[in-house]
Amino acid sequence: MSSPELRNDRILRAFARQEVDRTPVWMMRQAGRYLPEYREVRNQAGSFMGLCRSPELAARVTLQPVERYDLDAAILFSDILTIPEAMDLGLSFVAGEGPVFERRVATAADIDSLPRPRAQHELRYVMDAVSACRSELAGRVPLLGFTGSPWTLATYMVEGGSSKTFARCKSLLYDQPEAAHRLLSMLADTVAEYLAGQVEAGAQGLMIFDTWGGALDPQRYRDFSLAYMARIVEQLPREADGRRVPVTLFTKGGGQWLEAIADTGCDAVGLDWTTSLAEARRRVGHRVALQGNLDPTILHANPEAIRREVARCLDEYGHGPGHIFNLGHGVQPETPPEHVEAMISALHELSPGYHDDAPAPTAP
């Protein structure tokens, strides 16, 4: 789609490991329950999925953090479970439990009977939300689209909701690996079409959340999670509006597999707070950009502590391009909004010194 020229392309240049004037920033779950303006719109929508299904309201909450803070990207307000929800599994969100499916995927026959939702039909409301967001942003900052990884989606579908042990889903890998591969193959191809649809609708960057990849042992991570993310990356459109569309892969708890993740052809690797930026940069070199990795819990501390941790993250990555500042996971619901402002202000103050010839600021 054609659109106004980007007034701030800092994050797209950082994804391409090009020089920037300061380290760009966005936050996972930057639109959400910690913002009072979000809660007002959520109440208006009547339900979480009602909010996701309204392109107008989804666009409104997507833009709320961009209007409140000096961020370098907006990320579409949606949910990682839109694809399983469109498979008629009866998704609901239960207070204190999270997502719950009325009908879980329990057998090989269940896998083989699953419908494959289409981006322009069952998931059209997401594409309409992307278009609405691009229109409302009017070139202010880039818009990021996203999805869950095939393995992460499969865990919810097979477990019937959230899990601490993933016993059902892991048993499927051990007992019926062929059936597991059929499920993951279908999900990977569906996700690829879904993300391509988001790009067609106006997304300028993409992120795949592999929230539960870190629950797997090394061999099964490669076989049942990473291989399917690589399959998605191979199918994605990589250019739109004359620019590259960067793809970020984020495996929570995936620090031990950084080199393998970087080898998928992605543009950036997301890091949680358990992986050092310095170590990650040493291991992947200049192959990919790195995104992360402030512990989101620090945003409950005082502004001075937040500033120290921002400085530490910048010092860990060091001089030069290729760092997208982010949290190591999503903004927590109880986070004071003014503490997010403190983090962003500290980043804007400290990060320019890492992008010129001047000595880097010393962490307090």
HSE (CB half, 13 Å, CA atoms) of 111?
20
| Of 17, 22, 29, 231, catalytic | 29
pLDDT tens digits, residue range 325-347? 999 999 999 999 999 999 999 99
Residue 107: pLDDT over 60: yes
CB 39 within 8 A of CB 334: no
Residue 361 has pLDDT above 50, yes or no: no
Structure-model confidence comparison of residues 97 and 200, the more confident one? 200
Sign of CA dihedral 190, 196, 201, 202: positive
Output the 3-class SS for the chain.
CCCCCCCCCHHHHHHCCCCCCCCCECCCCCCCCCCHHHHHHHHHHCCHHHHHHCHHHHHHHHHHHHHHCCCCCEECCCCCCHHHHCCCCCEEEECCCEEEECCCCCCHHHHHCCCCCCCCCCCHHHHHHHHHHHHHHCCCCCEEEEEECHHHHHHHHHHCECCCCCHHHHHHHHHCHHHHHHHHHHHHHHHHHHHHHHHHHCCCEEEEEECCHHHCCHHHHHHHHHHHHHHHHHHCCCEECCEECCEEEEECCCHHHHHHHHCCCCCEEECCCCCCHHHHHHHHCCCCEEECCECHHHHHCCHHHHHHHHHHHHHHHCCCCCEEECECCCCCCCCCHHHHHHHHHHHHHHHHHHCCCCCCCCCC
* Active-site pick, 17, 42, 53, 60: 42
Confidence class for position 3, pLDDT limits 50, 70, 90: low
- Looking at residue 1, what is its pLDDT? 44
Identity of the amino acid at 265? G
Among 262, 38, 4, 18, which residue's Cα sits nearest to residue 143?
4
Would you call 156 a catalytic residue per the annotation? Answer: yes
For residue range 252-308, what is the model confidence (pLDDT) as tens digits?
Answer: 999 999 999 999 999 999 999 999 999 999 999 999 999 999 999 999 999 999 999
37-96 per-position pLDDT tens digit: 999 999 999 999 999 999 999 999 999 999 999 999 999 999 999 999 999 999 998 877
Q: Rounded to an integer, what distance in angstroms lies between the CA atom of residue 102 and that of residue 258?
A: 36
Is 31 among the annotated ligand-binding positions?
yes
Q: What are phi and psi of 170, to 5 degrees?
A: -70, -35
Catalytic: which of 9, 72, 79, 267?
A: 79
What is the pLDDT at residue 358?
A: 39
38 part of the active site: no
Distance CA 294, CA 265 (A): 25
Residue 313 has pLDDT above 80, yes or no: yes
- Is 329 one of the annotated binding-site residues? yes
Does the pLDDT of residue 172 top 50, yes or no? yes
How many Å apart are CA 155 and CA 165, to the nearest integer? 10
> Is 33 labelled a binding residue?
yes
**237 neighbors 205 (Cβ within 8 angstroms):** no
Would you say 65 and 31 are in contact if contact means Cβ atoms under 8 Å apart? yes
Model confidence pLDDT, tens digit, residues 151-160: 999 999 999 9
Which pLDDT score, from 0 to 100, does residue 357 have?
Answer: 54
What is the pTM for the complete model shown?
A: 0.95
Q: Is 267 a catalytic residue?
A: no
Whether residue 79 is annotated as binding a ligand: the answer is: yes
Name the residue with tokens 């967001």.
Answer: 133
For the question of residue 29 being annotated catalytic, the response is: yes
- Whether pLDDT at 2 is above 70: no
Determine the CATH number of domain 10-354: 3.20.20.210
Is 29 labeled as ligand-binding?
yes
pLDDT score for 36: 97
What pLDDT is stored for residue 98 in this prediction? 86
Residue 233 predicted with pLDDT over 90: yes
Does 32 belong to an annotated binding site? yes
- Would the annotation count 156 as a binding residue? yes
Q: What are the extents of the domains in the chain?
A: 10-354
